[in-house]
Amino acid sequence: MKYIINACIGFSPADGVLYRIESEDSVTLPLPAQRLLLIILESEGEIVTRDSLLTGVWDQFGLVGSNSSLNQYLSLLRRSISAFGCENFIETLPKVGIRLCEFVHIQKIDEENNSDTTEVISKRRPSGPLSKMSTIPKDMNAWILIIAFLACSFIFFGISKGGGSSPTPVYHSLEDGCKLITFADLNDEALSRVKATLTVFMKAKGMQCKPGNRFYFDDLSSQGRDHTKRTLITYCEEDRKGKSIMCNNFYYFNEVFSEK
């Protein structure tokens, strides 16, 4: 029985030799490191807790292990395997344990049966408490996230903008530099009518359309309970940041600009 790691490093549990396949460089691992490596290779990408490592490496053999000795042999394994060309072999999960890094490929070869049967035993499988988060491929996750975000945004704007609550201001720039704001999206004809009304209004009030001024206009009322027409024109002056600092409202009931 032997194990091949990423098709370039071999490990023979029988004699505890770790070797590089191409160059035949080898190192004989100490017994605890051998047991440790075997447990990791057989873990199939599952998380192996520190307790189970201490049990499998020392307790089962009547020895007493400790966290520091475990760290020491883990470090030795990392160094040895890294020296043979596999940089990321084990990942440490703080306060939990260890597991094989993702995409480490392990082959288990049964030499005793004298067969070429090769068993792929590890490309990390999603399992264990941390990796159970998702069995969806990463790119699929990204798509789900994007779709979910769009759905949430749609709901959010549906509530905050529409939702039957707030009217949406529609901004129009007038030729002389002021802004006209309506609360409905007007067609060209309606907009021309509003502009004409506003021109008459400004003339009657001695107002000017200039940058820094804005006019709100609205003549949409719910069906008048008494069949009357209502028109609101508001003139506001803006500060340098474009915020309204002073507004005068003119509310016409039935007829616009009836005053003398």
Which chain residues interact with another protein by CB under 8 A?
Answer: 132-134, 141, 145, 148, 151-153, 155-157, 159-161, 163-167, 169, 183, 216, 218, 220-222, 224-225, 228, 230, 232, 234, 236, 243-255, 257-259
With respect to another protein, which residue has the nearer C-beta, 2 or 205? Answer: 205
With respect to another protein, which residue has the nearer C-beta, 19 or 183? Answer: 183
Q: How far is the CB of 230 from another protein (least distance, A)?
A: 4
Q: How far is the CB of 253 from another protein (least distance, A)?
A: 4
Q: How far is the CB of 212 from another protein (least distance, A)?
A: 15
Q: How far is the CB of 222 from another protein (least distance, A)?
A: 5
With respect to another protein, which residue has the nearer C-beta, 176 or 255? Answer: 255
With respect to another protein, which residue has the nearer C-beta, 79 or 161? Answer: 161
With respect to another protein, which residue has the nearer C-beta, 68 or 223? Answer: 223
Q: Name the strands in the sheet holding 48-49, side by side, starting at the edge strand that comes first in the sequence.
A: 48-49, 97-100, 90-93
Q: How far is the CB of 221 from another protein (least distance, A)?
A: 3
